[in-house]
């Protein structure tokens, strides 16, 4: 099974790309996607390429001050990177990301005050935008805060299922110490409301997106082989 994890590496994380790759390989991943905001500043990415038995792909997390600037940055990055992530911090960002087919993954905040809406889910379905579930709050939150987060995850998951969207689960690791094995991440997802097969498919989805984005299209429906 091609399980892939989305991570951030030094200087935006505390571990190098090679260290993240080595740890992920030991945990049972077949690949990692490094999604730094400024991937051109990534520290020694060539060292990660020398690690055998795991693929290291360089994607990017696209950020901007407003929706218009975000759209321009997405267009600029699409040709350069095979995996684009947008973290939905505002309603405008969430809406714009779901309406742009160049976006691969929207990391939704899973906040009860900003649930995934029907219009947003419909746009994500139309544009084939995957919905990301960051499972790190399960470890960091406690008490009522964690209960509210779990409620938001389950609400979003209901809409993901209703509109047949593709979920992605991740621990959003910024360090090799934050990485969890695929088995542990699937177990955490099940606590949050995922079915086991659903969680496993969510871990395979990044690899599928990479493969699709690396195909070369001459025009709609015409692929260059």
Q: Which of 21, 22, 30, 27 is nearest to 3 (CA)?
A: 30
CB 111 within 8 A of CB 152: yes
CB contact set of 90 (below 8 Å; sequence gap of 6+): none
Q: What is the pLDDT along the chain (225 residues), one digit of tens a residue?
A: 699 999 999 999 999 999 999 999 999 999 999 999 999 999 999 999 999 999 999 999 998 878 888 889 999 999 899 999 999 878 888 889 999 999 999 998 888 777 888 999 999 999 999 999 999 999 889 999 999 999 999 999 999 999 999 999 999 999 999 999 999 999 999 999 999 999 999 999 999 999 999 876 655 556 566
CA atoms within 13 A of residue 207's CA, in its CB half-sphere: 16
In order of their start, the domains of the chain are 4-224 (3.20.20.140)
- pLDDT (0 to 100) of residue 147: 93
Round to whole Å and give the CA distance between 220 and 223. 8
For residue 189, with 0-12 CB atoms within 10 Å meaning exposed, 13-18 middle and 19 or more buried, which class applies? buried
- pLDDT (0 to 100) of residue 110: 85
């Amino acid at each position: 099974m091609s399980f892939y994890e989305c991570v951030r590496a030094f200087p935006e994380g505390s571990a190098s790309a090679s260290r993240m790759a080595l740890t992920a390989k030991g945990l049972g991943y077949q690949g990692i996607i490094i999604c730094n905001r400024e991937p051109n500043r990534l520290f020694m990415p060539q060292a990660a390429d020398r690690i055998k038995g795991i693929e290291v792909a360089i994607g990017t997390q696209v950020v901007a001050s407003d929706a218009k600037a975000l759209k321009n940055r997405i267009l600029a990055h699409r040709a350069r990177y095979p995996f684009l992530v947008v973290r939905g911090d505002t309603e405008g960002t969430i809406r714009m990301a779901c309406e742009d087919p160049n976006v691969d993954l929207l990391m939704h905040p899973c906040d009860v005050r900003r649930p995934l809406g029907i219009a947003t889910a419909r746009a994500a379905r139309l544009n084939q935008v995957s919905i990301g579930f960051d499972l790190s709050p399960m470890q960091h939150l406690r008490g009522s805060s964690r209960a509210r987060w779990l409620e938001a995850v389950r609400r979003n998951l209901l809409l993901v299922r209703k509109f047949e969207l593709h979920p992605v689960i991740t621990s959003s690791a910024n360090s090799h110490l934050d990485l969890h094995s695929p088995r542990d991440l699937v177990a955490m997802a099940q606590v949050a409301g995922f079915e086991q097969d659903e969680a496993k498919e969510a871990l395979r989805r990044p690899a599928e997106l990479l493969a699709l984005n690396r195909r070369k299209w001459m025009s709609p429906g015409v692929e260059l082989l």
